[in-house]
Amino acid sequence: MQCRTEPLCERVIALLAVRVPLWRPELLLLAHVAYTTGAVRISEKFALRRPLDYRLVVLMAILPDIIDRFLYVFVIPGAESGHLFAHTLVFNVALFVVLVAIRRDLWIYGLLPIAHLALDLPVFSLCPHWGDSLDELLWPFLGSDLANVHIPGGLTETGGQSLGERIMDRIGDPFRTYGESSLRSLFIEAAGLTVLTMLAIWGRLYEWSRLRQLVSAGRL
């Protein structure tokens, strides 16, 4: 049906286009550390009832980013993003199985990289690129094409840059990502910073002895 007020319709359509976010991989370090640490802290107090090493909690919360950023910057020239193999479900389930096989009580740490993947997914089901994120998450089950993990040219693609140029260009990519982030992403990061502040106050990390205990033994 034709809209009688075409200029108004165009403005509404433009507004909706802005409101529905496009999915793209973004680095949300504060959010990953804060939400994961907060959830683990609550679980430790009311469910697990055993002390955890929060140094390992933080490491596992951002492990997919650590692995894939290293591959993106130093190893795979044809990669177009810092979301590669370590952001797939198959990699993180395999990691979970390995940790549990090493020691059964490591299961809680093995769950944290999987939780990382949940935060990286789009939060709006109307997102037109929701399918793209599922192709990445469920690689290789929805298709083994390396383009689904942001390596469209394959592992042999050179990227057209020397090693030094690529490292210098990509090592600053997280800062550009923050500069170009959507309002939603900035809000998620700001909320993460708030959670971290609350955890620091709850753990009395303003006291030197408590901060030293966290650094030396991982206790919060």
Each domain of the chain, given as residue ranges in start order, spans: 29-217
pTM tops 0.75: yes
Q: What is the DSSP letter of 86?
A: G
Residue pair 133/122 in contact by the 8 Å Cβ criterion: yes
Could you tell me if 33 and 115 are in contact, meaning their C-beta atoms sit under 8 angstroms apart?
A: no
Residue 124 confidence (pLDDT) above 70: no
Q: What is the pLDDT of residue 29?
A: 85
* pLDDT score, position 153: 82
Measured CA angle at 11 (ends 7, 14), to 5 deg: 135
Task: Output the CA–CA distances (angstroms, integers) from residue 30 to 144, 165, 211, in the order listed.
Answer: 31, 28, 19
pLDDT of 94 > 80? The answer is yes
The average confidence (pLDDT) of the chain is: 81
Pairwise pLDDT comparison (174 vs 81), residue with the higher score: 81
What does the pLDDT read at residue 93?
97
